[in-house]
Amino acid sequence: MLPKVIEAANKEALSKIYMDWINTLGKVKECTSCHKASEEEFFDKNFDLSWIKDSILFTTALSNKLKFIEKNRFHGKHHYIEAKYETVGNVTLKNEPEYPDFDWKDRSNRLLLGFKYWNVIEYFFPYKYQTDKPWNQVLLETISKLDSVKTEAEFQHTLLQMVVNIDDAHGAFVSSNVKYKWPPYKLRYIDEKIVVSGYYRNSLTQSYPFQRGDVIVAVNDRPLHDIMAEKKPFVWGSNEASRNRNLANFIMPPFENKNVKVNFLRDGEKNEAVIGYYPSQNTKPDKPEKFRVIQDNIGYVNMGVIERTDVSKIMDSLKNTKAIIFDIRNYPKGTLYNLAQYLIPERRLFFKAIKPDLSYPGRFLWTNGRECGNIKGEPTYTGKIILLVNEYTQSHAEFTTMALQTADKVTTIGNQTAGADGNVSELDLGAGIKTYMSGIGIFYPDGLETQRIGVKIDIEVLPSIDGIKDNRDEVLERAIAFVNKGS
């Protein structure tokens, strides 16, 4: 169809192509249920079918045809999309061709993948209304770029820019033609600089030249600020916190047994090192302890490593502490409901959600959230509850934070979270290209948005380069001070 559309000289010719195409798809049956009043509560900030009435592009006959289809829209089981878990509602693609012989040089092929992704976001992305750049504008810009790309890398970068423009930290871009290898040291964006914040495995500290607090200033003789400016348009994220977090991870090039020259500052002095190939096993982190009692009878729980089966032992061990610090600067393992039994004295609603209405693409339905807390009314933990968060607190981590925030005497400390909540939808576009999106919308019970904003924070604490260098956890230190001083 695309070559025919491209060749259409005027709206009459274009509309005829569409009318003929629609007619080949079968007769549209009248839908009696489509006109009935619904008791459902709709979320319509994403809903816009005004394009149907575009008299510049479409004849009146075509607009009337499209309006008839809308009024008698399909209510059965979809062929190309599905919500695998109906109660949750986020969509995935199905029955899409894999295009094993995909040729990026073919203009229609390029446009096809671009249009496919654009339409998924247009009708099934709950946060489309929040994007910085209007989604219609993204379409027009993308058509122009896809029309003129000269290399496969440019083609993939164009698709990647579409993903970046949904402003969603879940929106990763994966291509079978691109292989990433990650360095064994951790990099973090602090004060507009890229700083070495540690190693995934402590045993590697003697094997590599970097120390905590080293500031990267150049890679292969290119100033880091030039590299950052070049890469940032291709880095996905919901907000500056998550975008800069991802930017730090993409500063170093993917290594393929090549040496890389790195210039860095240590205590203000210039240093240079040649970094070699990174074996993948070097990025497997050491296993931290699950919980402990730290100074002044304060409990500490690492939410990224504890399992559901650990909760009863942990809470029994920490029940007499004056406070428990739950570190959620990681990705929890589904323990929130178990913990809520010990921390929240009664059942409390902690979120509400929206999900796509598959019977009316573009519309979303409000759904009731879930409650968490003690079911039996048994005694719960009475000490202070502290939640630690930062830009690595994303998705289920933010969801967990929202649940535990319903406890009494709870305080959230840290910096802005990733702002990407809601079950993830994987979108396999074919040609070896996959991407992702937040598939449902998550809000606080009062309707307050979490996407792009992050969770509520009571005390903001930003890490410093000096703190990194001295191996200090400034957020944890602030939490301990708050417990002991009450401010």
- Nearest-angstrom CA–CA distance, 168 and 101: 30
Cα separation, 240 vs 257, in Å, equals 32
In tens, the pLDDT along 150-180 reads 999 999 999 999 999 999 999 999 987 766 6
Q: Could you give the CA distance from residue 4 to residue 14 in angstroms, rounded to a whole number?
A: 8
Token pair 């750049």 is at which residue? 133
Average model confidence (pLDDT) for the chain?
93
**176 Cβ contact partners less than 8 Å away, ≥ 6 residues apart:** 432, 433
Question: How does DSSP assign 12-54, residue by residue?
Answer: HHHHHHHHHHHHHT------SGGGS---SPEE-TT---GGGG-
pLDDT at 381 over 90: yes
Which DSSP category does 285 fall into?
A: P
How far is residue 44's CA from residue 47's CA, in Å, rounded to a whole number? Answer: 5
| CA-based end-to-end distance of the chain | 65
- pLDDT-based confidence at 382, cuts 50/70/90? very high
Q: For residue 280, name the pLDDT band (cuts at 50, 70, 90).
A: low
Q: Three-state DSSP class for 473?
A: coil
Task: Give the model confidence (pLDDT) of 64-113 as tens digits.
Answer: 999 999 999 988 899 999 998 888 999 999 999 999 999 999 999 999 99
| Dist CA 472 CA 463 (whole Å) | 9
pLDDT of residue 32: 84
The tokens for 164 are 């970046």
Cβ–Cβ under 8 Å, residues 190 and 463? yes
Residue 449 pLDDT class (50, 70, 90 cuts): very high
Q: What is the DSSP letter of 288?
A: P
Cα 346 from chain centre: 31
- Residues 231-270: pLDDT tens digits? 999 999 999 999 999 999 888 766 555 788 999 999 999 9
Distance CA 197, CA 210 (A): 10
- Closest-CA residue to 166 (of 136, 114, 130, 141): 130
What pLDDT is attached to residue 281?
Answer: 54
Percent of the chain with pLDDT over 70: 96
> To 10 degrees, what angle do helices 107-124 and 135-148 make?
170
Over residues 49-75, mean pLDDT? 95
State the pLDDT at residue 284: 66
443: DSSP letter: E
What is the mean pLDDT of the segment spanning 118-144? 97
Average pLDDT over residues 7-28: 95
Tell me how far CA of residue 487 lies from CA of 338, 373, 457, 464, 481, in angstroms: 29, 27, 14, 21, 8
Mean pLDDT, residues 328-343: 97
Provide the greatest CA pair distance for the chain.
Answer: 79
Task: Note the pLDDT tens digit of each residue in 423-442.
Answer: 999 999 999 999 999 999 99
Give the residues across from 202 on adjacent strands: none
The confidence score (pLDDT) of residue 334 equals: 97
